[in-house]
């Protein structure tokens, strides 16, 4: 049975078409993904609506939205109201009606959700533990994230995967509200320190995509007592926000480590992010993978080793 890594690899092929503006090929790819990964129905249905909109097939997009609602699906208000792919639909009465149905479903589901902490302790390590905090990407989960980052455990690190309480759709989580996200991560770290012995001089915050961007902010603002961040394919950060972070007075020296794919649509942003950090006195290394899209590198443990070496130096 295909696992999440298979899905990320295959969906990266779809995203490559999207990045090239070949929306028809990307749409065709979603049909194959739907057949191969039925458990990802909500994510794929959302992509289909976005791509149909990009192709100016408004009626088909609204029809796909209707079918998804009839199947019990929904997406967060923030996604439906801010995604530029969907902007041509925002003013349509039918879209507004369906978005309001999603809002009601999200509100009902959100009442039952709390932030979550999942921990993997290293088999052999000297206590107190060095800690790697890992943050999922948009529409991710702590469990799937831990599957990747627990490769740090054999290196002697305790890995703490934190899951947001903000729903993107059923059983998928997002960090859209940055203030709320920051509070949840800080609170979960505090709880972790109460449960296990933590070496506060050896804390690193890691993440993928949206979680990677959050990791950058948490470290640069000093919200967590971290030595640095390990950001894999970080999501976009508003220039003014980034400037405020790097110009803030840091309580202690910090470092950054970026893992970037040459085929990632945000590749130029990664380079600019590194330049901005270095220009403001924050040492930052960028591990470049020319053939990689918006995904983890195939041998992530190697990246972890190199990142630890740089961030802890």
pLDDT at 3: 58
Give the CATH class of 116-311: alpha beta
Q: What is the rounded distance in angstroms from the CA atom of residue 306 to the CA atom of residue 295? A: 18
Tokens 């129905």 found at: 41
Domain definitions of the chain by residue range = 4-110, 116-311
With beta carbons less than 8 A apart as the criterion, state whether 149 and 134 touch.
yes
Question: How many C-beta neighbours within 10 Å does residue 311 have?
Answer: 23
Res 7: pLDDT: 84
pLDDT at 2: 47
Q: For the purposes of burial, counting CB atoms within 10 Å of the CB of 89, is it exposed (0-12), middle (13-18) or buried (19 or more)? A: buried
CB atoms inside a 10 Å sphere around CB 49? 26
- Whole-model pTM: value is 0.91
Candidates 2.30.250.10, 1.10.10.10, 1.25.40.10, 3.90.1150.10; correct CATH number of 4-110? Answer: 1.25.40.10
Mean pLDDT for each 10-residue chunk of the chain (313 residues)? Answer: 68 85 96 93 96 98 98 95 95 98 96 95 88 96 94 96 96 95 98 96 97 97 95 94 86 93 91 96 96 89 97 94
Give the burial class of 116: count Cβ atoms within 10 A of its Cβ; 0-12 exposed, 13-18 middle, 19 or more buried.
Answer: middle
Supply the pLDDT for residue 67: 97
**Strand 116-120 with 158-163, pairing:** antiparallel
């Amino acid at each position: 049975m295909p696992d999440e890594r298979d899905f990320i690899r295959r969906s990266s092929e779809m995203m490559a078409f999207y990045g090239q503006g070949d929306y028809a090929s990307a749409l065709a790819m979603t049909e194959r993904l739907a057949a191969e990964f039925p458990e990802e129905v909500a994510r794929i249905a959302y992509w289909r609506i976005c791509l149909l909109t990009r192709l100016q097939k408004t009626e088909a997009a609204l029809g796909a939205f209707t079918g998804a609602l009839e199947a019990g699906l929904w997406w967060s208000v923030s996604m439906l109201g801010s995604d530029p792919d969907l902007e041509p639909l925002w003013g349509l009465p039918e879209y507004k009606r369906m978005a309001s149905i999603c809002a009601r479903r999200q509100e009902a589901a959100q009442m039952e959700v709390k932030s979550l902490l999942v921990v993997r302790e290293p088999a052999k390590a000297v206590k107190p533990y060095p800690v790697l905090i890992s943050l999922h990407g948009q529409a991710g989960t702590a469990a799937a994230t831990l599957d990747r980052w627990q490769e740090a455990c054999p290196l002697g690190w305790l890995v703490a995967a934190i899951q947001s309480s903000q729903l993107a759709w059923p059983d998928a989580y997002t960090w859209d509200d940055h203030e709320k996200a920051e509070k949840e991560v800080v609170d979960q770290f505090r709880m972790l320190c109460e449960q296990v012995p933590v070496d506060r001089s050896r804390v690193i915050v890691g993440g993928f995509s949206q979680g990677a961007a959050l990791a950058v902010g948490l470290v640069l603002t000093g919200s967590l007592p971290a030595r640095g961040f390990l950001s894999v394919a970080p999501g976009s950060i508003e220039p003014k926000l980034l400037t405020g972070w790097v110009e803030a007075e840091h309580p202690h020296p910090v470092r950054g480590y970026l893992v970037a794919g040459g085929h990632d649509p945000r590749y130029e942003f990664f380079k600019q992010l590194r330049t901005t950090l270095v220009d403001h006195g924050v040492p930052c290394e960028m591990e470049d993978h020319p053939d990689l899209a918006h995904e983890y590198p195939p041998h992530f443990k190697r990246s972890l080793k190199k990142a630890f070496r740089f961030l802890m130096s």
